[in-house]
Structure 1
Amino acid sequence: LHGVPSFLRAVDLRSFHFLRRIVSAGEPFDIDIFQAWLGDVEIYNKYGPTEATISATEYKVSDQSYHPLSIGKPIGRTQCYILGEGNTLQPEGVIGEICISGMGLARGYLNRSELTEERFVENPFINGALMYKTGDLGSWLPDGSIAFHGRKDHQVKIRGYRIELEEIESVLNALYNIEQAVVMAVSDHNDTKQLVAYVVSNELVDSNSIKEGLMLLLEEKLPEYMVPSIYVKLDKLPLSPNGKIDRKALPIPDIFYKQKDYVAPSSVLE
Structure 2
Amino acid sequence: FAFINKHQTNVVFLPTAFIKMIFSERELANSFPDGVKHLIAAGEQLMISDLFQDVLLKRGIHLHNHYGPSETHVVSTYTIHPGDPIPELPPIGKPIGCTDLYILNHQKRLQPCGVPGELYISGASVARGYVNHDKLTGDKFSSGPFGPGVIVYRAGGLARRL
For normalisation by structure 2, the TM-score amounts to: 0.76
Cα displacement (A) at 1:23: 1.5
CA distance in 1, matches of 2:63, 2:138: 36
Maintained 8 Å contact 1:45/1:59: yes
CA distance in 2, matches of 1:77, 1:3: 23
* DSSP 3-state at the match of 2:158: strand
Larger CA Rg, structure 1 vs 2: 1
Percent identity of paired positions between Structure 1 and Structure 2: 32
1:29 pairs with one of 47, 70, 76: 47
Maintained 8 Å contact 1:90/1:96: yes
1:56 pairs with one of 52, 61, 75: 75
Q: Which residue pairs with 1:6 in the alignment?
A: 20
Alignment of 1:169-188 (within 5 A): none
Kindly tell me: are residues 129 and 107 of structure 1, through their superposed partners in 2, closer, same or farther at Cα, counting changes over 3 Å? same
Kindly tell me: are residues 13 and 65 of structure 1, through their superposed partners in 2, closer, same or farther at Cα, counting changes over 3 Å? closer
Encode CA deviations 1:28-49: one digit per residue, 9 max, x unaligned.
3226323322233211122110
Q: Which residue pairs with 1:205 in the alignment?
A: none
CA distance in 2, matches of 1:75, 1:140: 15
Encode CA deviations 1:111-148: one digit per residue, 9 max, x unaligned.
0011101110003113211000011110111xxxxxxx
Kindly tell me: are residues 139 and 48 of structure 1, through their superposed partners in 2, closer, same or farther at Cα, counting changes over 3 Å? same
Maintained 8 Å contact 1:101/1:123: no
Gaps of 5+ in 2: 1-11
Alignment of 1:20-169 (within 5 A): 20-25=37-42, 26-30=44-48, 32=50, 33-38=52-57, 39-53=59-73, 55-62=74-81, 63-64=84-85, 68-141=89-162
Kindly tell me: are residues 51 and 15 of structure 1, through their superposed partners in 2, closer, same or farther at Cα, counting changes over 3 Å? closer
Counterpart residue type for residue 30 of structure 1: I
Maintained 8 Å contact 2:47/2:88: no
Counterpart residue type for residue 6 of structure 1: K
Number of positions where the alignment pairs a residue of Structure 1 with one of Structure 2: 140
Bigger RCO (CA 8 Å, 6+ sep) = 2
Counterpart residue type for residue 46 of structure 1: H
* DSSP 3-state at the match of 2:20: helix
Gaps of 5+ in 1: 142-270
CA distance in 2, matches of 1:8, 1:75: 28
Counterpart residue type for residue 56 of structure 1: V
CA distance in 2, matches of 1:49, 1:116: 15
Maintained 8 Å contact 2:67/2:75: yes
Encode CA deviations 1:44-85: one digit per residue, 9 max, x unaligned.
1221100002x1111102433567531111111111000002
Maintained 8 Å contact 2:143/2:152: yes
Q: Which residue pairs with 1:193 in the alignment?
A: none
CA distance in 1, matches of 2:22, 2:93: 20
